[in-house]
Structure formats: C-alpha cells, structure tokens
C-alpha cells in the first residue's frame, strides 16, 4: 500500500486545473452500453474508479481506447450480461450497468455493490424504479438478477427517506431512454451530474427534458447515433482545492471549473470570511486569517454536498468559535473526526451532528484514511498541521482525485507519495 507524507505549514499559491467529474464519467461510461454506435468521451479523469468501470464494460463486450483523458467506446454487441463481484466490489457505481443492460439486452446479473464504508446506501430505490418500468428483479446469492420482456414508460417515484436519489434517478433515466412510451421521474435529483448524463443521452439521440428540475421526462427511442461528448468539471475536486486555500490561508486560482455548480460551497466559504472571486470558468480563493465559525446542514443539491462535509470539518477545526455540521445523507460519514482529533482537533459527535470547537493549531500525526472524502480531509489537515503527517490507505483517495499530490506540490505543498 501507499501513503502520503506531508510537511505542514507551507503556503500555497498558483493555479490548479480541475479534472472531469468522476460522478458524471462513471454513469456516462455505463450509458454508452445503450448503443452499438461509436462513443467518444472527452475530459474523462484518469482515476481508479474510471479504470474499474472501463474494465467492467470491456467484460460486457465493449471495445475501449483510453488516452489523454479521451475515452473511445464501441459496443457493437453485448457479449455478457453479468457484472462479477471481483469488479463490482471495487466501486459502487458499477450498478449503473443494470439500467443499460436491461434497456439494451433485456437482462442483467449485477453483483451487489461495494465502495466506501460510509454507511448504508441501499439500492432499493434503483430496484423500485426499474420494476416500475417493467423489470422483474430478485436478489439471490449476492447478485441482482433482472430481466424484462419489454421496458414500458411509466411515472416513477424514487424518493427515499433521505430525499431524492442521484444514483436511482440516473439508473432509471438510462433504462427509460429505450423504454416504449414516456417515463416521468418525479421527484428527480437535480445534481449537475444528473444533468450531464441527460445531456449525454440527448447528444446520443435520445429524448430527455426537465433535467435540473425535480421532474424529468424521457420519451423512449430505440435508435441512436455516433456521439462525441465532453463531461463537466468535477465540482468536488474544485471545492476541495478551495478548502485547501482556506485552511492554509493561501490564495489559489482554480481553473476549468463551473462556479455555478459550487454555489453552496463558495457561499459557505464567504460566510466564514474567505474571499472568493467568481469568473466564468474559474474561481480565485483568498484564505484569510480572520475566519469565524459557522453551521453546515448537509443535504441534496443545491444544498451543501455530503462529499464536501469532511473537508469542511478539517477546515472548521482550526476556525475560532464553535461550528456544527449536520450530516443528513450518510450516517457513518464522520469517520474522519477521530483521525482529526488525533491531530488535536476538538470535535464531539452527537448523533448526526458534529460539534467543532476551533483550536489554534493541529499537530502532525500518523493517520488512517477510511473513505474517499475523509482521505482528502486528512490531507488538508496535514497541509496546515505542525510537523509531519502520514496518511495511510490513500487508495481511497485515488478513486476520486487525479494526481492529487502532484497538483498540491505545484501549488507549493510539501507532500510525497511513498510505499508504507
């Protein structure tokens, strides 16, 4: 295994370019299985999760070439309908092939998914939505077994106890693209990644409207065309670098991003005293010494994203005053708190709420990453901590950040990757 070794206390400066959105790339790659035409995807991040999804669609029959962030896919024929455990266990988003396979070949056998251990993330809403379209689904021996004679358009309600589901919205949207008749997903998730998948499907020749609202309409079509499509920038990577500027009290220009997708994140930074300049496709973040506490309520888009909660906990741990973070999406997503406390942070967990009393400084420590975003939070804490910080199990981070330490070094951080 590999680890990061960080010498804290270095100011950051300069520019960083943001990669394509992981959470768009994965379902769009899966959605390419809908068509036997040629698909060219641009701005694809080179991540472990992306490589895993490529491995999965190759297993299913796709011919793939991936070079310099351009992914060329041609699936003239689906050769297999199973998504095996050895692939799916590496990445939860593998379940997106379920909707695509049902639409294309009317059957699928997908292993129950793996991914980060951040609490229960049931796929019941995916199953509910696909059943509404006419799929017969049973879970047996760790696999989702699905088949259908014909998918039929229908009104689909996939709201769960935590609100709308991004994954279920996308999976149903992919399946409904080739269903007979009209499908309406209501309430649908509104995240930018949902819009991106819908826009890709439209570019491929399908008919989807309402993306970005809570009511998405899909008019099923069986034909598609060759397509070239560029995915959106990764708003979570951009938000993470914005938090890096804030925690180190530095100024960073973040290029190739979409500021409109970052509104809740940037608003919260400004609320605690960080200066933010918003451009058309860039932001400049000026970390200041006079920061103050805040309260964060994690919720679905356009609210504050759960994928930025850990990074902000690291930031708020050295902001004077008492801050709170209420996590409403995943019940086990405070695992970074214990590691931050080992660095000197004053954090108390009360159910779904973290109470953070800002301290003057953090101290370097040996840390264990538990999941993707917690990994990023520990690296941010290490950037500002006194002394040396070692973050182990960084394979979590490599699932969602491309060349993270390289980008940080270019900004002036003293961070290196080495074998444990």
Active site residues: 116
Minimal CA–CA distance to 250: which of 221, 209, 283, 285?
Answer: 285
Q: Contact 88/63 with Cβ under 8 angstroms? A: no
Q: Tokens for 89? A: 């266990």
Sign of the dihedral defined by the CA atoms of residues 297, 303, 306, 311, in that order: negative
* Nearest-angstrom CA–CA distance, 244 and 72: 34
* Nearest-angstrom CA–CA distance, 338 and 235: 26
Q: Contact 86/52 with Cβ under 8 angstroms? A: no
Q: What is the CA radius of gyration of the chain?
A: 21
């Amino acid at each position: 295994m590999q680890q990061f070794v960080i010498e804290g206390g270095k100011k950051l400066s300069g520019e960083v370019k943001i990669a394509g959105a992981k959470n768009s790339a994965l379902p769009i790659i899966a959605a390419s299985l809908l068509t036997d035409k040629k698909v060219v995807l641009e701005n694809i991040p080179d991540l472990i999760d992306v490589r895993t999804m490529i491995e999965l669609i190759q297993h299913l029959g796709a011919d793939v070439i991936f070079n310099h962030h351009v992914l060329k896919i041609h699936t003239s024929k689906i050769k297999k309908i199973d998504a095996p455990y050895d692939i799916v266990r590496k990445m939860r988003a593998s379940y997106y092939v379920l909707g695509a396979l049902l639409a294309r070949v009317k059957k699928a056998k997908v292993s129950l998914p793996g991914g980060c251990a951040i609490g229960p993330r049931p796929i019941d809403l995916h199953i509910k939505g696909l059943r509404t379209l006419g799929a017969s689904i049973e879970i047996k021996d760790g696999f989702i077994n699905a088949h259908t004679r014909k998918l039929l358009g229908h009104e689909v309600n996939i709201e769960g106890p935590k609100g709308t589901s991004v994954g279920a919205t996308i999976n149903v949207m992919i399946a409904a693209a080739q269903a007979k008749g009209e499908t309406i997903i209501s309430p649908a998730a509104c995240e930018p990644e949902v819009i991106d998948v819908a826009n890709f499907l439209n570019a491929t020749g399908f008919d989807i409207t309402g993306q970005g609202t809570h009511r998405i309409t899909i008019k099923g079509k069986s034909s598609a065309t060759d397509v070239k499509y560029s995915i959106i920038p990764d708003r979570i990577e951009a938000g993470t670098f914005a938090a890096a500027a804030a925690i180190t009290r530095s100024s960073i220009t973040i290029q190739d991003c979409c500021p409109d997708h970052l509104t809740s994140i940037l608003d919260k930074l400004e609320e605690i005293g960080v200066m933010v300049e918003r451009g058309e496709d860039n932001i400049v973040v000026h970390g200041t010494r006079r920061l103050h506490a805040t309260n964060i309520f994690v919720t679905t888009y356009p609210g504050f994203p759960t994928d930025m909660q850990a990074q902000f906990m690291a930031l708020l741990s050295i902001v004077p005053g008492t801050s709170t973070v209420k996590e409403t999406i995943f019940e086990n997503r405070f695992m970074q708190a214990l590691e931050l406390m080992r660095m000197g942070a004053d954090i108390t967990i009360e159910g779904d709420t973290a109470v953070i009393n800002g301290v003057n400084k953090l101290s370097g420590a040996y840390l264990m990453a538990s999941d993707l975003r917690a990994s990023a939070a520990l690296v941010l804490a290490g950037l500002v901590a006194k002394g040396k910080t070692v973050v182990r199990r960084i394979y979590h981070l490599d699932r969602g950040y491309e060349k993270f330490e390289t980008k940080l070094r270019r900004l002036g951080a003293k961070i290196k990757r080495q074998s444990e």
